[in-house]
Amino acid sequence: MTAKWTKRLVLTFLAGLLFAGTAATTAQAEDGYRFWGYYQYSGGQWAFAQKGSEVVVPADGSVEGWRYAVGGVKPRVPRAAGDFATICGATPAEAGKKRVALVIDPGTPADSPSGEAPPPATGTCVVTDPKATGARILAAVKPVRIEKGLTCGIGGYPAKGCGDPVKDIKVPASDEQVKLEIGPAVGSTATPSPAAVPTNSNQAPTADDDSGTPWTGIIIAALVVALLAGGGLVLSRRRSGS
């Protein structure tokens, strides 16, 4: 096992202890971090991932979640339910692939670094290889900024910083739920059904529309025939004269 791999596992383990509420705390004001948390949705609720996204291999029908927030002992989960049917229901299953619903919640303005506005929370259905990890699924949807083995930015947010410590954090007792913006499926090779062609249009033909008759081609052909005929007539008269 390489030193880089070991470092990632240690950081993931420590983050899990801190943000899942199992770390020891003091009676003083709580300190925390501003970071992207990694979650899985099961049994109607979000749970902080106990392993890093680079080793987790979600099963078909799973729901993955990422949430940016200032967190301490209490985990700050995505503010939308991980409804697989809502996110992936319109995406057909494909042989040899899996469908995973991905929720990305950049959090609230209060969580964001100074001067940055969080984009809307999104839901995306990812159709991918059965062995794809959580990290690959995330990277298929948004560009990911990695620093020191940690996921520091998703889709360009935030533009800088990574797991920055925050003193005397004020975590709300609960977060207001938000509605996801559902984007198009990623990785699907299914071809959408062609748009229906109207068979009884009530639109009247315009002045330039003669019911589809190719008048331009007919006129050109007639001119060519006339020119050829005229040339033949001239040639015939010359021969007669000689």
pLDDT digits (tens, 9 = 90+) for 58-106: 999 999 999 999 988 888 999 999 999 999 999 999 999 999 999 999 9
| Position 159 confidence tier, pLDDT thresholds 50, 70, 90 | very high
- With a cut of 70, say whether residue 15 has pLDDT above it: no
Per domain, the residue ranges of the chain are 3-182
The Cβ of residue 5 has, within 10 Å, a number of other Cβ atoms equal to 13
Q: How many CA atoms, within 13 angstroms, populate the side-chain half-sphere of residue 45?
A: 4
Peptide bond connecting 78 to the previous residue in cis, omega within 30 degrees of 0 = no
Q: What's the confidence (pLDDT) of residue 190?
A: 66
**Residue pLDDT, tens place only, 110-144:** 999 988 999 999 999 999 999 999 999 999 999 99
Query: Across all residues in the chain, what is the average pLDDT?
Result: 76
d(CA 140, CA 132): 10
Q: What's the confidence (pLDDT) of residue 29?
A: 61
Q: What's the confidence (pLDDT) of residue 33?
A: 93
